[in-house]
Structure 1
């Protein structure tokens, strides 16, 4: 289509002018399928927790694997597909300058017969960073994933002031993604990066295992100190912190999506003692597992 090269529209703006608003934030579990071609009026981050997805865009097919996200810009025609069974996703629709009033999905996805050129949102750009749309697939650090999860929770529960909270969290997400452009490569560690990412994905799938530093070092065939340094360089967290975060993410998912008892959930994520699980959960989340479950189900 002749107008596509014009998109995404961009606006050079100082960071203090960025004012993102969230239009949609949700978890999904999908089975393999190719979705319809579409364009968006806003922007979308689609993060893969587990499984694999793919996006066709600008004449290329991009694989989006566990631990990665695809950045879908406004106005760019694209088609998403789920490649692996039970692929777990987190999707966030947003704009950069609080431009779009959203009342229904029709305000997000373009109906080509009635496309409104005035509704396409602009992408913020500030030096020294390149626009995010220059990078279709990104690997966000765990801290960024935690911010995206917090956005879903705020947007779903909608407590008083959730719009302000979402705006603040989204600014954090954007800053984390932009900083990836200047992340220092791990000197001499290229051959290990893929293996560490595979191990990170395995920890996410099986957080209840006893992922000690000696075990991780053995799996990666290196000494503990070297393993810990390289692991932190790739994950953005020390191994023990990453394991705790993975267990916490899975505990939150089970509290949201199942009716299992807190004691059973603690066991499933690696904590045999309910009191210890509750203490760790409260420290990380600020509330008990039971209180979190109640809050997550308030819509």
Structure 2
């Protein structure tokens, strides 16, 4: 299938005119396989929590590691691959200007035998940022991942006013992704970036370990202050904040996907004391672990 270079369509508009609507937001766990070539009428953010994936578009294959996302623009031909076993995804379909009415999959995925050109959504542009479609693969900071997870929760449970909440959360996600264009690594971050990213991946795999600053500094063979500065330059947040974000994300996943008790989950993510775990969870999420589990299982 030949790529149509007409897409993505773009519209220059001030930020106050951006009004994203969410068409789909969901977690998935998939086994290794290659999906079919496709085009979308809307846009998709596909974040890899765990495992490895790849996307081929515009003649280039992009590897997507855990902690990264791919931006799939409307109208652009692409093919996704699941590379590693049990790869966990978070997917969000959206538009920038509340353009598309969605009633089924046929409103999201293009049927090449019956293309409807009027349905292709436009990508919003605003200075001083380049279009997000210029950057196929991005590494969002933990705060951005947290916003995406909140959005999935709102979209799944659909409490009163969820459309407004999803719109606000999506604007937050877009702003953080746009800001990545101007994020500058600190001195030495490029030299040590691969080592720090490898350590971040290890924290993701083993959140229950005692990831103190002294331990991280020892692992990277540098003093604590220097380690903390370089870690923040690479991760976008301080080491302690990154560890808390990873633990909280894993706790939410276990509450959604397992029947483990709150105490067992706390231990698995690094909090041996149930009351401390519950207090930290409530502070970050606004509800207790038990309440979060109930809300996540409404649908």
Q: Report the TM-score when normalising by structure 1.
A: 0.98
Question: How many Å separate the matches in 1 of 2:105 and 2:247?
Answer: 33
| SS of alignment partner, residue 114 of structure 1 | coil
Q: Which residue of 1 aligns with 2:31?
A: 31
4+ runs deviating over 6 angstroms? none
What is the aligned partner in structure 1 of residue 107 from structure 2?
A: 107
Does 2:88 correspond to 1:88? yes
Query: CA offsets per residue over residues 9-50 of structure 1, 9 Å max, x none?
Result: 000000000000000001111111100000000000001111
2:20 counterpart residue number: 20
How far does residue 189 in structure 1 lie from its aligned partner after superposition?
2.2
1:2, distance to aligned residue in structure 2 (A): 6.4
Supply the distance in 2 between the matched residues of 1:241 and 1:128 (Cα, whole angstroms).
29
Distance 2:196 2:189 in 1: 10
- In structure 1, how many angstroms separate the alpha carbons of the residues matched to 2:15 and 2:148? 20
Aligned to 1:205: 205
The Cα of 1:170 is off from its aligned counterpart by 0.3
Residue 69 of structure 1 aligns with which residue?
Answer: 69
Shift of 1:237: 1.5
What does the per-residue CA deviation read over 1:54-86, in whole Å, with 9 as the maximum and x for residues that have no partner?
000000000011111000000000000011111
Aligned counterparts of 1:28 and 1:198: Cα–Cα separation in 2 = 24
Question: Cα–Cα, structure 1 residues 3 and 276, in superposed 2: closer, same or farther, change >3 Å?
Answer: closer
Post-superposition Cα deviations, 1:159-181, rounded to whole Å, max 9, x if no partner, equal 00000000000000000000111
1:112 is paired with a residue whose SS is: coil
SS of corresponding position for 2:8: coil
Distance 1:189 1:131 in 2: 26
2:146 paired with 1:146: yes
How many residues get paired? 299
Q: Distance in 1 between matches of 2:50 and 2:246?
A: 12
User: How far 1:185 moved relative to its partner?
Assistant: 2.5
Gaps of 5+ in 1: none
Answering whether residue 282 of structure 2 is matched by residue 288 of structure 1, we say: no
- Partner Cα separation in structure 2 for residue 228 and residue 271 of structure 1: 22
Residues 2, 54 of structure 1: CA spacing in aligned structure 2 closer, same or farther, 3 A cutoff? closer
Q: Deviations over 1:93-150 (max 9, x none)?
A: 0000000000111110001111100000000001110000011001111111111001
Deviation at 1:158, TM superposition (A): 0.4
Matches within 5 A, 1:115-126: 115-126=115-126
Alpha-carbon distance in 2 for matches of 1:192, 1:212: 19
What is the CA-CA distance between 1:184 and the residue it aligns to?
A: 1.4
1:225-240 mapped onto 2 (5 Å cutoff): 225-240=225-240
Q: CA deviation at 1:240?
A: 1.0
**Unpaired runs of at least 5, structure 2:** none
Aligned partners of 1:236 and 1:76: how far apart in 2? Answer: 30
2-structure distance, mates of 1:207, 1:118: 47
Q: Deviation digits for residues 220-273 of structure 1, max 9, x if unmatched?
A: 111111000111111121111111111111000000011111111111111111
- Aligned counterpart, 2:78: 78
Q: Does 1:246 align with 2:246?
A: yes
